[in-house]
């Protein structure tokens, strides 16, 4: 039996009005009201097989039943889970998403075996404590950014991470699909984006200063049907997938595929290949009408693959907009002519013009642009939103200007940063961000209050994959810290200094068993296992505490 205090993320309210326990077994039936089909299907396809429970349809009332129902008195993602002796288990949600989120809590109450794919104790009865759990999220946007451009994650890995997100009540997958090192999505009108742009000849092993190379091709991409499958799988779990197509920087893979997209009057773009190193490539898109039309075609196909009605935040399209070196534009007669033609002051304003074009283009099609905080420079359309990554300042400026914000500061929630200062930490990047550090992260800075604070849609953890060459490395960097981020995003926690990290650690003892059942290669509390280390692979550690601004 799992104690209510073992739940992650922590619920708002737990009551035990009568004591005792409710039994779940082979005779348990499932009654699902109209509108709760996603949870009904998930219970029968995932939870049932894990425990060997058929969960056949049954009556609405009875002592041995599981009941799903919508409740208009609850907020959309809120739920009430009642386990009562003689009445079975009932999950009420303010929407289909609320019911599904309540089912994730039920899964935790049923113990770690419920996180497996087949029963390890077939026929065994299960008991959950008699409880009334009332719960609702603090933030609407509870996300994870997966970088599949630097190191490709096959489709099954993305589906697996959607399941891991659902288990932690996360609801936005920000999918970073393009970068200098690879283009990962099929665009039918521009086939060379994947024929050429999805493969590089070799990869740097470790930080870009490392002398080590993996001398074999790396790549892969998602077909359009793969993307449709990912989006549909996410929608069944009430997760929005926000695609990112990076412009105008981080675009060398696209230029390698279509050299005319680059600054051909400065660089022999026909000689460029998909970049095999890390960092920021100087090879950026040319600010030409041809480039704009090309990417409009890309986004037209993208909008069809990511329909706006798939889930809560599915109208968003991320366009990157960060880290665009201006050197080639300064030297390019074409770029300088465009600056003069548009009456712009400099290359920074040229980038703002480029972003603004797609801001308006997307808005005209009922979509919302979101980009890294550099897109603030030069102004944004009213509906655009900002991912604040360089600290809090971009998010504060955006909220004060009336824009919605997702807080994901590099110094706090970039999970590619190292988890410990020890010499065994694999490929140590950035600041030390321990489990406790992430648990004490606060998405809303004190500078934002009232209406401005309400512009903070929520938060997400970012997983950049330069030094994550396979699933095990991604798991190691993500967990257990993603569980802490999930609680920060979901639970009504006190101020950071007042948070009971000791209680969270205690609850994690139960949660590690769930992660074990799911096959997650997390970092153990005592440090990396021998096979998780990368001895001799150069990283880029930064000493001292990160700036909190």
Percent helix, strand, coil in the chain, to 5, is 35, 20, 45
Annotated catalytic, 71? no
Please tell me the distance from the alpha carbon of residue 133 to that of residue 69, in angstroms, as a whole number. Answer: 15
**Measuring CA to CA, which residue among 459, 453, 369, 478 is closest to residue 408?**
459
Please tell me the distance from the alpha carbon of residue 416 to that of residue 142, in angstroms, as a whole number. Answer: 18
**Measuring CA to CA, which residue among 235, 119, 257 is closest to residue 183?**
257
| Residue 422: both structure tokens together | 């020890």
Answer whether 459's CB lies under 8 Å from 141's CB.
yes
Please name the residues in contact with 466: beta carbons below 8 A apart, sequence gap of 6 or more.
147, 150, 151, 204, 207, 208, 278, 416, 429
Catalytic residue among 71, 134, 276, 323: 323
End-to-end CA distance of the chain: 43
Annotated catalytic, 323? yes
Task: Map 331-368 to HEC letters.
Answer: HCHHHHHHHHHHCCCCHHHHHHHHHHHHHHHHHCCCCE
Please tell me the distance from the alpha carbon of residue 237 to that of residue 235, in angstroms, as a whole number. Answer: 5
**Number of neighbours of residue 128 by Cβ within 10 angstroms:** 20
Please tell me the distance from the alpha carbon of residue 166 to that of residue 90, in angstroms, as a whole number. Answer: 20
Catalytic residue among 90, 179, 186, 404: 179
Please name the residues in contact with 308: beta carbons below 8 A apart, sequence gap of 6 or more.
314, 315, 366, 367
Answer whether 285's CB lies under 8 Å from 291's CB.
yes
Catalytic residue among 250, 417, 455, 511: 250
What does the DSSP 8-state code read for residue 449?
Answer: -
Annotated catalytic, 238? no
Q: Catalytic positions, please? A: 179, 250, 323
């Amino acid at each position: 039996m799992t104690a209510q205090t073992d739940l992650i993320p922590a619920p708002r309210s737990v009551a035990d009005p009568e004591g005792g326990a409710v039994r779940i077994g082979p005779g348990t039936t499932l009654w699902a009201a109209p509108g709760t089909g996603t949870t009904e299907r998930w219970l029968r396809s995932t939870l049932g097989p894990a425990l060997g429970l058929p969960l056949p349809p049954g009556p609405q009332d009875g002592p041995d039943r599981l009941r799903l129902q919508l409740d208009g008195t609850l907020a959309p993602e809120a739920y009430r889970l009642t386990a009562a002796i003689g009445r079975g288990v009932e999950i009420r949600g303010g929407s289909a998403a609320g019911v599904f989120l309540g089912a994730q809590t039920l899964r935790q109450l049923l113990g770690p075996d419920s996180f497996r794919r087949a029963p390890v104790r077939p026929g065994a009865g299960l008991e959950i404590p008699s409880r009334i759990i009332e719960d609702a999220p603090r933030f609407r946007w509870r996300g994870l950014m997966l970088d599949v451009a630097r190191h490709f994650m096959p489709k099954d890995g993305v589906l697996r991470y959607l399941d891991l997100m659902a288990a932690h009540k996360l609801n936005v997958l920000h999918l970073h699909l393009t970068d200098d090192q690879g283009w990962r999505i099929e665009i039918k009108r521009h086939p060379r984006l994947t024929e050429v742009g999805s493969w590089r000849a070799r990869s740097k092993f470790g930080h870009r200063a490392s002398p080590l190379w993996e001398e074999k091709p790396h790549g892969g991409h998602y077909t359009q049907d793969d993307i449709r499958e990912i989006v549909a799988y996410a929608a069944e779990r009430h997760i929005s997938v926000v695609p990112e197509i990076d412009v105008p920087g981080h675009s060398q893979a696209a230029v390698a595929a279509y050299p005319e997209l680059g600054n051909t009057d400065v660089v022999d773009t026909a000689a460029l290949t998909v970049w095999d190193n890390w960092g920021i490539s100087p090879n950026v898109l040319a600010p030409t009408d041809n480039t704009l039309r090309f990417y409009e075609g890309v986004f037209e196909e993208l909008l069809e693959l990511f329909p706006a009605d798939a889930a809560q935040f599915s109208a968003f399209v991320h366009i990157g907009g960060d880290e665009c070196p201006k050197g080639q534009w300064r030297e390019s007669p074409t770029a300088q002519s465009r600056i003069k033609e548009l009456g712009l002051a400099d290359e920074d304003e040229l980038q703002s013009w480029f972003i603004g074009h797609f801001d308006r283009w997307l808005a005209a099609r009922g979509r919302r642009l979101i980009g890294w905080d550099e897109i603030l420079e030069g102004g944004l359309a009213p509906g655009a939103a900002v991912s604040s990554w360089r600290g809090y300042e971009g998010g504060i400026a955006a909220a004060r200007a009336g824009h919605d914000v997702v807080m994901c500061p590099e110094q706090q929630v970039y999970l590619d940063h190292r988890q410990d200062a020890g010499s065994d930490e694999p490929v140590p990047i950035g600041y030390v961000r321990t489990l406790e550090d992430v648990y004490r992260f606060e998405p809303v800075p004190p500078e934002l209050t009232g209406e401005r604070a309400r512009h903070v849609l929520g938060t997400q953890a970012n997983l950049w994959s330069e030094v994550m060459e396979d699933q095990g490395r991604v798991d190691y960097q993500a967990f257990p810290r993603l569980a802490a981020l999930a609680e920060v995003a979901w639970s009504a926690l006190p101020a950071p200094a007042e948070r009971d990290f000791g209680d969270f650690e205690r609850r994690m003892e139960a949660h590690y068993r769930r992660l074990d059942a799911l096959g997650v290669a997390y970092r153990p509390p005592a440090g990396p296992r021998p096979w998780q280390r990368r001895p001799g692979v150069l990283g880029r550690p930064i000493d001292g505490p990160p700036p909190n601004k």
